[in-house]
Amino acid sequence: MTEPPLPGVPAGAAPLRLRGRTFGADHPVVMAVVNRTPDSFYAAARHGADAVDAAVDRAVAEGADVLDVGGVRAGRGPVVDEAEEIARVLPVVERVRARYPDLLVSVDTWRAGVARAAADAGADLLNDTWAGHDPALVEVAAERGLGVVCSHTGGATPRSDPFRVTYPAPDGVDPLDGVVVDVERTLTASAARAVALGVDPASVLVDATLDFGKTTWHSLHLLRNTPKLVHIGHPVLVAISRKDVVGETLDLPPEDRLEGTLAATAVAAWLGARVFRVHDVAATRRALDMVAAIRGERAPLRALRGLL
C-alpha cells in the first residue's frame, strides 16, 4: 500500500493508456530507444540488423515498458527516404510483436507513410518528434486507434539543427519564459487536435522535445517548468537521454552523460512527468521507481528495517 503524496509534492501527469493498458503514478513508464540507424549521435545506440534483437531482449530484461524504434537520425546526415526508413523499422516492429506480444511498441517518425506501415505491423504509439511536420500523421493515429506524441520544435524542420533560436517573452518576466509560453501553446493546440480527431486523450503524450529548436538554456528552463506541461492535462514525455543539454551543461561527450541524464530524469519525475525515453533502461528504471517511492506513489518492494 502506498502512502498519500506529501504536502508540496507537485501533481503528477495524467495516466497513460495504450492498447488498453493504463500506467498510473505508481508505475513511471520507461521507453527504451532502439535505433536502426548507423549514425546515431550515441554510438552504443547504433543497432544493425544483426544486433537489434539482442538490444530488444536487453531492454525487455531491464524493465522497459515501451520500445521506441527509429530508422532516421534526428540530426543532419545522409538522406534516408521513406522506403528506406520503412525497410529499417518494419522488420523490428514485426519481430518484436511476434516475440513479445504484450510489449508496447512505438515508432519514431515524422512521416505519415511510415506511420501507416508501422500501424499495419502492430505499433501502438507514433512518436512524432518533428511536431506535426506531416499533419496526416496524427490522422493515422486516430484512424488506427494508436497513441501519438505531440512535440515542439519551434518551427524547425526535420533533421535540422537550431541556430540562434529565440522565443519572445511577455514583458516583465524572465526572458527564458518565452520558450515555456510557446511550448505550452503549441502542445495544447496539438493535443487538442489529436483528441478532436479521435485519439484517446490518455493516449496523447506531450513532449517539450528538448534540444530540438532550442538552446541548452531553453531546455534547462523547460525542465524546471515541467509542472506547466503537466497542467496541460496529458501524460508528459521527457526525452533527455544523453542529449546535448546534458553534454553542454557538464561539458561531456555522449558516452559520459549517464549521471547527468539520471539527475535530470529524477527531477522531471519529481515534477510530475510520466514517460521517459532513454538509452539506459536498468539505471532509469531504478531511479524512477525510487522517485515514485519518495513521492509516496509506490511502495518499497521490501521494507523490513527496524521491524524485525
pLDDT digits (tens, 9 = 90+) for 190-205: 999 999 999 999 999 9
Ranges of residues in the chain with a pLDDT under 50 are 1
What is the reported pLDDT for 76?
A: 86
What is the reported pLDDT for 261?
A: 98
Alpha helices in the chain (DSSP H): 52-61, 82-99, 112-121, 136-144, 177-197, 216-224, 226-230, 244-250, 258-270, 281-294
The sign of the torsion formed by the CA atoms of 167, 172, 173, 174 equals: positive
Active-site residue, 58 included: no
**Cβ-proximal residues to 239 (8 Å cutoff; 6+ apart), any chain:** 129, 207, 209, 210, 276, 277
Cell 549514425 belongs to which residue? 39
Residues 201, 196: Cα–Cα separation, whole Å: 9
What is the reported pLDDT for 9?
A: 82
What is the reported pLDDT for 77?
A: 86
Residues 196, 184: Cα–Cα separation, whole Å: 18
Q: Please name each of the domains of the chain with its CATH number.
A: 16-294 (3.20.20.20)
What is the reported pLDDT for 175?
A: 87
The sign of the torsion formed by the CA atoms of 65, 32, 184, 119 equals: negative
Residues 122, 141: Cα–Cα separation, whole Å: 12
Q: How many residues does the chain have?
A: 308
What is the reported pLDDT for 172?
A: 75
What is the reported pLDDT for 7?
A: 65
One-letter identity of residue 44 = A
Active-site pick, 36, 193, 277, 285: 277
What is the reported pLDDT for 3?
A: 54
Q: Tell me the pTM.
A: 0.93
Residue 284 half-sphere exposure toward CB, CA atoms < 13 A: 33
Active-site residue, 111 included: no
What is the reported pLDDT for 38?
A: 82
Q: Give, in order, the Cα–Cα distances in Å from 104 to each of 148, 193, 212.
A: 13, 24, 25
Long-range residue pairs from 189-192, CB within 8 A, at least 24 positions apart, any chain: 190/131, 190/132, 190/138, 190/150, 190/151, 191/150, 191/232, 191/233, 191/234
Active-site pick, 116, 193, 243, 257: 243
Asked if residues 106 and 67 have their Cβ atoms less than 8 Å apart, the reply is yes
Residue 298 half-sphere exposure toward CB, CA atoms < 13 A: 22
**Cβ-proximal residues to 44 (8 Å cutoff; 6+ apart), any chain:** 255, 279
Residue 56's CB: how many other CB atoms inside 10 A? 23
